[in-house]
Amino acid sequence: MIETAAGIESLNLNLTREIHVRASLKDTYAALLEQVGPGNERPRRSIHRC
């Protein structure tokens, strides 16, 4: 049996973003929650493919 490469649908991409802020942990966490949105979900954006 010949194995084929995995399709793009089965791949994962993990991104990490590190930022430094001058604010208290409480204020930073509140701002993060506000950015993420209700229910810890961001609005879905369409992906433009070339």
13-30 average pLDDT score: 90
Task: Give CA angle at 27 (17, 33), nearest 5°.
Answer: 55
pLDDT (0 to 100) of residue 7? 73
Is residue 50's pLDDT more than 60? no
* pLDDT value at 34 more than 80: yes
pTM, entire model = 0.42
Which residue would you say has higher pLDDT here, 46 or 26?
26
Catalogue the E-assigned strands of the chain: none
- Cβ neighbours of 29 (radius 10 Å): 11
